[in-house]
């Protein structure tokens, strides 16, 4: 009899916990508001494009970018890397 009591109480606990989980209420929501309609709008024009430049008085100028290092025996003279063995730098 003593071994049946713990087994029966354990079975009641398991059965009771599963019954309470299955006995939850189900709620249904009814929306009686105005119907929703999708409004189509034209997409915005693209943000990129090509155009013809009318101001031709200012020419395009390519400015050389100074490298971080010209190499051994070379230096930057303001326009390009120059070999110091053939064109010595002006160090005045």
Give the pLDDT confidence of 38-70 residue by residue, as tens digits: 777 787 777 776 666 666 666 677 777 888 899
Higher pLDDT, 86 or 13: 86
Residue 7 in any domain: the answer is no
pTM: 0.32
Alpha helices in 2-67 (DSSP H): 4-22
The number of domains in the chain is: 1
Residue 39 in any domain: the answer is no
Q: Note the pLDDT of residue 17.
A: 60
Q: What average pLDDT score do residues 13-17 get?
A: 68
**Whole-angstrom Cα distance, residue 81 to residue 67?**
8
Residue 59 in any domain: the answer is no
Among candidates 74, 67, 79, which has minimal Cα distance to 89? 74
| Eight-class DSSP state of 74 | E
Residue 92 in any domain: the answer is yes
Residue 56 in any domain: the answer is no
Residue 87 in any domain: the answer is yes
């Amino acid at each position: 009899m003593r071994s049946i009591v713990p087994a029966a109480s354990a079975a009641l606990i398991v059965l009771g916990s599963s019954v309470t989980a299955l006995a939850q209420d189900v709620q249904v929501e009814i929306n009686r508001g105005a119907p929703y309609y999708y409004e189509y709008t034209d997409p915005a024009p693209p943000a990129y494009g090509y155009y013809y430049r009318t101001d031709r008085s200012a020419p395009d100028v390519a400015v050389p970018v100074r490298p971080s290092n010209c190499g051994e025996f070379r230096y930057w003279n303001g326009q390009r890397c120059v070999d110091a063995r053939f064109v010595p730098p002006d160090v005045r």
